[in-house]
């Protein structure tokens, strides 16, 4: 039958008895107008925003030290994420808990105000802005840029006790006027922390948000700020050794949540004793919330754990749950550490390459103009 059908079609194509030219319809020109382009952008914005919250919700992000961008001194857990669309205009609503080490020294009224502790907080942010999609044909990187159109609205609330000046000099000064202003020294400290925290989040989130995907490798990165077209942006802790973390005595850090369908490997360097573990993220979130509220922390069922002072490595088998890396301080002093998951493993965990690229897929940029290098021989074998 297929041969007969093909012959019939061919006979019509070769027939000399063609229809009159007047009955022919001219071919429709392709739509390349501004309206079609606008509609496409709206569609992409709606699809992208629907996926953006999935990538942000449940993320444990490092907070940068003020004046030292590569250094991480705190954590933000993005517990809630909601997005409202109006064409390409979008409003992000983010909420969560976190903490950051703060050292503040200020002289006032003849006394010295000193703050040296983890300021723990709850934060809710409403960020109106617009979404735009870009694609770099050379590097094959898709970027979703969210650019605020107004100053973000921040509700920053300290959740733990804010100690001011352990020596008592500052407390005596503000304590003397507390009856006038109906506020205790601790409330004065909370007010100071609230002001600093609100300003910091306003400045950070005013830079925008970016989700970038390398289609050649599948490597995805969510960052605060707007990297240039074709760039994944600066790496997050765990993606590069160029992102050190400082942990203070009694401190806790958590990073994730990560897909681990083929397992998870962690290589860490430290200049002091720390305890590093990997656990299902759902078991880590309650601990993060309890730590942020100065409450008793429930135990974590670790998939792997190791005390490290120098260099160490952890590995877990394939997991159905998303996993998180948990680090606790074991020293009575500040400890600096970094950790890295092999870049190829990061890319493969999210599905691997989406397109075939002529360029080598074994090179992963760290976003700082260099390239990620595995830590240790074991990591090199996995690369």
Which residues have CB under 8 Å from 4's CB, separation 6+? none
Residue whose C-alpha is closest to residue 221's, from 211, 234, 231: 211
Compute how many other C-beta atoms are within 10 angstroms of the C-beta atom of residue 374. 19
Which residues have CB under 8 Å from 86's CB, separation 6+? none
Query: 245-247 and 335-340 as β-strands: parallel, antiparallel, unpaired?
Result: antiparallel
Q: Answer yes or no: are the C-beta atoms of 313 and 266 closer than 8 Å.
A: yes
What is the percent of the chain with per-residue pLDDT over 90, rounded to a whole number?
38
* Whole-angstrom distance, CA of residue 260 vs CA of residue 34: 43
Residue whose C-alpha is closest to residue 58's, from 238, 285, 253: 285
- Per residue, the 3-state secondary structure of the chain, as one string, reads CHHHHHHHHHHHHHCCCCCCHHHCCCCCCCCCCHHHHHHHHHHHHHHHHHHHHHHHCCEEEEEEECCEEEEEEEEEEEEEEEEEEECCEEEEEEEEEEEEEEEEEEEECCEEEEEEEEEEEEEEEEEEEEEEEEEECCCCEEEEEEEECCCCEEEEEECCCCCCCCCCHHHHHHHHCHHHHCCCHHHHHHHHHHHHHHHHHHHHHCCCEEEEEECCCCCEEEEECCCCCCCCCCCCEECECCCCEEECCCCEEEEEEECCECEEEEEEEECCCEEEEEEEHHHHHHHHHHHHCCCCCCCCCEEEEEEECCEEEEEECCCCCCEEEEEEECCCCCEEEEEECCHHHHHHHCCCCCCCCCCCCCCCECCCCCECCCCHHHHHHHC
Predicted structure pTM score = 0.77
Residue 99: is it exposed, middle or buried by C-beta count within 10 angstroms (0-12/13-18/19+)?
Answer: buried
Query: 153-158 and 111-136 as β-strands: parallel, antiparallel, unpaired?
Result: antiparallel
Write out the chain's pLDDT in tens, 383 residues: 333 333 333 333 344 444 455 556 565 555 554 445 677 777 777 777 777 888 889 999 999 887 788 899 999 999 999 888 887 788 989 999 999 998 776 665 555 566 678 989 999 999 998 888 888 999 999 888 888 888 889 898 888 776 655 444 434 444 443 333 444 555 556 676 777 778 778 888 888 888 899 999 888 888 888 888 999 988 999 998 888 999 999 999 999 999 999 999 999 999 999 999 999 999 999 999 999 999 999 999 999 999 999 999 999 999 999 999 999 999 999 999 999 999 999 989 988 888 888 754 444 444 443 344 333 333 333 33
Backbone angles phi, psi at 38, to 5 degrees: -65, -45
Please report how many Cα atoms fall inside a 13 Å half-sphere around the Cα of residue 313, on the Cβ side: 14
* Whole-angstrom distance, CA of residue 173 vs CA of residue 337: 39
Tens digits of per-residue pLDDT, 114-123?
667 898 999 9
* Whole-angstrom distance, CA of residue 211 vs CA of residue 220: 7
pLDDT for 338 equals 96
Q: Can you tell me which residue has the tokens 């802005």?
A: 129
How many degrees, rounded to 5, is the angle at CA 334 between CA 333 and CA 336?
Answer: 140
Q: Answer yes or no: are the C-beta atoms of 367 and 233 closer than 8 Å.
A: yes
Query: 89-108 and 245-247 as β-strands: parallel, antiparallel, unpaired?
Result: unpaired
Tens digits of per-residue pLDDT, 370-383?
344 333 333 333 33
């Amino acid at each position: 039958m297929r041969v007969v059908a093909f012959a019939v079609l061919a006979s019509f194509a070769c027939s000399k008895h063609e229809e009159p030219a007047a009955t022919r319809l001219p071919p429709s020109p392709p739509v390349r107008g501004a309206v079609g382009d606008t509609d496409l952008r709206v569609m992409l914005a709606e699809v992208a925003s629907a996926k953006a919250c999935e990538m942000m919700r449940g993320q444990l992000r490092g907070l940068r030290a003020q004046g030292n961008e590569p250094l991480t001194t705190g954590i933000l857990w993005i517990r809630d994420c909601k997005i409202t669309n109006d064409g390409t205009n979008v409003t992000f609503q983010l909420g969560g808990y976190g903490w950051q080490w703060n050292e503040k020294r200020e002289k006032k009224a003849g006394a010295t105000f000193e703050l040296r502790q983890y300021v723990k907080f709850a934060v809710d942010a409403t960020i109106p802005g617009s979404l735009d999609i870009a694609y770099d044909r050379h590097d094959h990187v898709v970027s979703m840029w969210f650019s605020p159109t107004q100053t973000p609205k921040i509700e920053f609330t300290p959740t733990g006790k804010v100690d001011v000046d352990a020596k008592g000099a500052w407390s005596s000064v503000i304590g003397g006027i507390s009856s006038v202003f109906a506020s205790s020294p601790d409330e004065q400290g909370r007010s100071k922390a609230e002001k600093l925290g609100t300003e910091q989040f306003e400045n950070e989130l005013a830079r925008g948000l970016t989700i970038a995907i390398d289609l050649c490798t599948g490597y995805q990165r969510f960052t605060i700020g707007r990297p240039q077209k074709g760039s994944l942006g600066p790496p997050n802790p765990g993606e590069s050794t160029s992102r050190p973390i400082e942990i203070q005595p009694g401190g806790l850090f958590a990073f994730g949540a990560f897909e681990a369908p083929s397992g998870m490997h962690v290589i860490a360097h430290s200049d002091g004793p720390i305890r590093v573990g990997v656990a299902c993220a759902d078991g880590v979130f309650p601990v993060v919330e309890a730590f942020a509220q100065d409450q008793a922390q429930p135990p974590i069922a670790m998939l792997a754990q190791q005390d490290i002072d120098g260099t160490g490595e952890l590995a877990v088998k394939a997991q159905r749950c998303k996993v998180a890396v948990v680090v606790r301080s074991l020293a009575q002093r500040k400890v600096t550490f970094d950790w890295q998951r092999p870049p190829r493993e990061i890319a493969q965990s999210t599905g691997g390459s989406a397109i075939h690229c002529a360029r080598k897929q074994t090179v992963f940029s760290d976003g700082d103009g260099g390239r990620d290098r595995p830590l240790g021989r074991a990591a090199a074998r996995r690369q």
